[in-house]
Amino acid sequence: MKLEYSNAINILIITFPEMKIVYESDEEYTDLPYALYESGFVPLVMTQLRLNNLHELNKIFDFIETLLLHGDEMVVNLVAVAVVESLVFEDEYDKFKDIILNMCGERTRKSFNECIE
């Protein structure tokens, strides 16, 4: 079953209910998955990295891997651009790089490596 781009926001909110508050707090996110994933979800990822919340980080990186494995072409691009590239360009990326890469599944690690090259 392919995860479709048209459901990208709902998939995120269902998996991470705390994202519903973020989504509803700013009209900028309405029907704009890239904006929500980049400026809503990536900060959540960074917060969990700072807290070293391994349980939540496992959930996050399993979610990312699932999107890359089962998402349609637009979902894969969404994750590569709005999540992976955004994480790489975070100021603290080098500090958390080892944790991130250890949490990654095969497709996610490949996406990070392609972004860094």
3-state secondary structure of 71: strand
Q: What is the pLDDT of residue 1?
A: 61
User: Which of 99, 102, 97 minimizes the C-alpha distance to 116?
Assistant: 97
> pTM score, two decimals?
0.94
Q: Amino acid identity, residue 68? A: L
Q: Amino acid identity, residue 6? A: S
Q: Where are the domains of the chain?
A: 5-116
Count of residues in the chain:
117
Q: What is the pLDDT of residue 91?
A: 96
Q: What is the pLDDT of residue 71?
A: 97
Tokens of 79: 């994750």
User: First vs last Cα of the chain: how many Å apart?
Assistant: 31
Per-residue confidence of the chain (117 residues) as pLDDT tens digits?
A: 679 999 999 999 999 999 999 999 988 888 899 999 999 999 999 999 999 999 999 999 999 999 999 999 999 999 999 999 999 999 999 999 999 999 999 999 999 999 887
Q: What is the pLDDT of residue 28?
A: 87
Q: Are 46 and 89 in contact (CB under 8 A)?
A: no
3-state secondary structure of 3: strand
